[in-house]
Amino acid sequence: MMFHLARYTQSILKIRSIQQVMARQNHDKRLPDFHDKYGIAVLAGGTAFCAVAWVILSTQMGIEWNLSPVGRVTPKEWKEN
């Protein structure tokens, strides 16, 4: 019986200490940092930059994306010496 009472008391103290820590954190006045102010804008700008770069790369560079040469490549005429 004593063991159960000690465990119960210990768990209650842990819960109260956690609640006190959370209450203290909620009352702290925190100034917004760089990520709070500009985080979404930087993320959106980086995403837009990468998307535009890939679109330009895939459309303007003239890369052929794994197209099959079947039907386009013809053998050269044999030249005898």
- Would you say the C-alpha torsion 41, 45, 47, 51 has a positive or negative sign? positive
Please give the pLDDT value at position 54.
92
pLDDT above 90: residue 76? no
Whether the pTM exceeds 0.75: the reply is no
SS3 49: helix
How wide is the angle at C-alpha 71 spanned by C-alphas 69 and 73, nearest 5°?
60
Domain boundaries, the chain: 37-61
Beta-carbon count within 10 A of 67 CB = 7
Please give the pLDDT value at position 42.
95
The single-letter DSSP state of residue 61 is S
Tell me: the pLDDT tens digits for 25-69? 666 667 888 888 999 999 999 999 999 999 988 888 776 666 776
